[in-house]
Amino acid sequence: MDRVGGGGDMSELGCKGGTGNKSELGNTKELHNTTNTNELTNMIKSTAPDQQHSIKELADSEVEDADEEIEKMKIVSGKLFPPLSLEKWVKGYETIGFQGTHLYEAVEELRRMKTNGSKIFLGFTSNLVSSGLRDLLCALVRHKCVGVVVTTAGAVEEDIIKTLKPSRLGSFGMDGGLLRSRGMNRIGNVIVPNENYFEFEEWLTRVLDRIVDGEVDGGGGSGEGSENRAKDNAQRKTEREIGGYRRCGGLAVITPSRLIYELGREAQCEESIWHWAYANSLPVYCPAITDGSIGDIITYYKRRKELVIDLVEDIAKINREGVFEERTGALILGAGVVKHHILNANLFRNGLDHCVLVNTAQEYDGSDAGARVDEAVSWGKIKKNTTSVKVHADASIVFPIIAAAVWPEIFAEYTG
């Protein structure tokens, strides 16, 4: 992969996901940028989902043109690390104390998972895909370093959006009101322009049309020649095994995991996490799939009444992921729903054999997000007497170190 940094022609960075003409949609700017509450309420009432409007038609035309300002911002990327061997260097953390020692223990725990063939559940929150860590996460999925992925809706959409348009590097201190007037959204010090979401809406609508029309199973290959027929048959067999899609009368019923599979099929971009999950038939679970732009777009999708998202089938499926495995492990970056979803799935096999948690949440408010390893042991979600560890740290700082030490062969290609 080419390194990315600074401004420049965005057409050279992104991978335009999918094919076909753009659907005739309106404009999402009013929903994102209207500041008058009464005006926004009236807009929403006048464009209720039952009237089959696009959320883009709720846009505000008063947003200032900030294209030149956006172009000057550096592109968010995780590809600037120079090739460096940390396999031995990381041992220095063993006796350094505090979270440095926990970092060393996390590396050792992941090495044990890798050595003993544990099925690894990888969990990460959406902000990490907004950051440059997306590139490293993509490398792990591409090289089949993990067996299951659990994430949130923001991560699903941010990965696809970055194949269309890049996110930009800003600062934590940027004025929110000014950003609002310029059509820019801040995630920490990462800036995502409204235009990125507008393009994603058009892209996702085409995918939803294909799902509702039943153009899912088999992939629509040409079928000409024995080699192509064999490939098409193999793909159909894979999709039957993956499941998650069915017709019920006039309805298209699809699970979140199958929806992400279809997004990965459409993405056609080697920088996309979901492209490689699709290519490797790697299951990706997202129990809160509607908690983001995806949910907004589906709400205002003109054929929404023909589409059903089946969450329950995915719950049953992830609960079976580890039951018959000899060993399971987890690497969970961030917390919240991704953490609990992975831990709870392993409850059905009496707990994980290995677990590495990386987050900054504290336990004092009783939240699952902040809970330490021993609390999960009390629930039977992690086995007793394991060497599982929690690293209290920002994943954007420590995960590149962990990855370089545990998967040096992958990291060398990722940075090069």
For 100, residues 6+ apart whose C-beta sits below 8 A from its C-beta are: 93
For 175, residues 6+ apart whose C-beta sits below 8 A from its C-beta are: none
DSSP 8-state code for residue 16: -
> Do the beta carbons of residue 339 and residue 374 sit within 8 Å?
no
Q: What are the distances in angstroms from CA 132 to CA 153, 180, 195? A: 18, 23, 20
For 157, residues 6+ apart whose C-beta sits below 8 A from its C-beta are: 200, 204, 292, 293, 294
Give first-to-last CA distance, the chain, whole Å: 8
Among residues 333, 6, 23, the alpha carbon closest in space to that of 207 is found at 23
Q: Indicate if 381 belongs to the active site.
A: yes
**Element holding 390 (H helix, E strand):** strand 389-392
DSSP 8-state code for residue 250: T
The catalytically annotated residue of 381, 383, 384, 390 is: 381
Q: What does residue 391 show for φ and ψ, rounded to 5 degrees?
A: -105, 115
- In degrees, rounded to 5, the angle at the alpha carbon of residue 362 between the alpha carbons of residues 361 and 366 is 110
Other CB atoms within 10 Å distance of the CB of residue 315: 15
**Element holding 251 (H helix, E strand):** strand 251-254
Please state, in angstroms and rounded to a whole number, the distance separating the CA atoms of residues 318 and 126. Answer: 20
The arrangement of strands across the sheet holding 190-193 comes to 168-169, 190-193, 184-187
Q: Which residues are catalytic?
A: 381
